[in-house]
């Protein structure tokens, strides 16, 4: 009886005065609302028309152009990745970009590249940017040289697309080999590390063994 009384007596006033009658209390909320709640009303369709289509085209074009401008700075790490077949096309396109040298009168002096290295690099890019067929060929040959200089990795990636066309099995085998190499390397590293540990704490190991046998 007392328990029931307490439940009812939580309100020290007549709740009818609030306009909340018996049974008309809204349901209590349990937990947070769902991430994708059901909507009672479906959204209105987008406006369609010539204006909207043109602006859509403008937007997409703008995005494409901005990504190709020198203002769009690529992350350095992406270059270290294994070269893909498609990247050659993309690279060719990027080479045609002109380097961008801002008017330093408008910028704080401290932003000027101080070291000589990046500057020379920039001018090189600029030259290739002019993009005569001869120079483009030079660049390509240089890229090839760089590829050859790189060890196994680059060659493999070079072969990949051709092999894909020929035979998938071969590629799989190759991948397996590759993985094995990796594993070996890993093992080498771990063994050497383990050796060090043994040398250092040989005594304690012996003790441990002794305890275990007893």
Provide the minimum distance between the beta carbon of 55 and another protein in the complex, in angstroms, as a whole number: 4
Counting Cβ atoms within 10 Å, is residue 83 exposed (0-12), middle (13-18) or buried (19+)?
middle
Nearest residue (CB) to another protein, 13 versus 193: 13
Long-range CB pairs of 150-153 (<8 Å, 24+ gap) are 153/82
Nearest residue (CB) to another protein, 111 versus 212: 111
In the three-class reduction of DSSP (H, G, I as helix; E, B as strand; rest coil), residue 32 is classed as coil
Say how many CA atoms lie within 13 Å of 80 toward its Cβ. 3
Provide the minimum distance between the beta carbon of 110 and another protein in the complex, in angstroms, as a whole number: 6
Q: Dihedral through CA 30, CA 32, CA 36, CA 41, nearest 10?
A: 60
Nearest residue (CB) to another protein, 118 versus 197: 118
| Contact call for residues 95 and 136 (beta carbons, < 8 A) | yes
| Contact call for residues 171 and 163 (beta carbons, < 8 A) | yes
Contacts with another protein, residue ranges (CB under 8 A)? 11-14, 17-19, 24, 26, 39-41, 43-44, 46-47, 51-52, 54-56, 58-60, 62-63, 65-67, 69, 71-76, 85-86, 89, 102-113, 115, 118, 130, 132-133
Provide the minimum distance between the beta carbon of 148 and another protein in the complex, in angstroms, as a whole number: 24
Provide the minimum distance between the beta carbon of 28 and another protein in the complex, in angstroms, as a whole number: 12
Q: Dihedral through CA 54, CA 60, CA 61, CA 65, nearest 10?
A: 160
Provide the minimum distance between the beta carbon of 100 and another protein in the complex, in angstroms, as a whole number: 8
């Amino acid at each position: 009886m007392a328990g029931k009384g307490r439940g009812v007596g939580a309100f020290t006033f007549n709740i009818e005065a609030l306009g909340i009658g018996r049974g008309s209390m809204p349901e209590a909320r349990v937990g947070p609302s769902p991430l994708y709640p059901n909507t009672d009303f479906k959204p209105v369709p987008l406006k369609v028309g010539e204006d909207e289509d043109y602006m859509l085209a403008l937007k997409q074009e703008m995005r494409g152009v901005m990504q190709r401008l020198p203002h769009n700075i690529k992350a350095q790490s992406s270059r270290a990745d294994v070269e893909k077949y498609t990247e050659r096309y993309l690279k060719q396109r990027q080479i045609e970009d002109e380097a961008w040298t801002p008017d330093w009168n408008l910028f704080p002096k401290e932003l000027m590249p101080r070291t000589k290295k990046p500057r020379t690099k920039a001018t090189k890019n600029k030259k290739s940017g002019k993009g005569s067929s001869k120079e483009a060929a030079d660049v390509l040959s240089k890229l090839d040289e760089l590829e050859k200089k790189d060890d196994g990795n680059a060659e493999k990636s070079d072969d990949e697309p051709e092999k894909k066309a020929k035979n998938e099995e071969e590629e799989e085998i190759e991948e397996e080999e590759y993985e094995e190499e990796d594993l070996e390397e890993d093992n080498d590293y771990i063994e050497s590390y383990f050796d060090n540990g043994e040398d250092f704490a040989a005594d304690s190991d012996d003790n441990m063994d002794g305890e275990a046998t007893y």
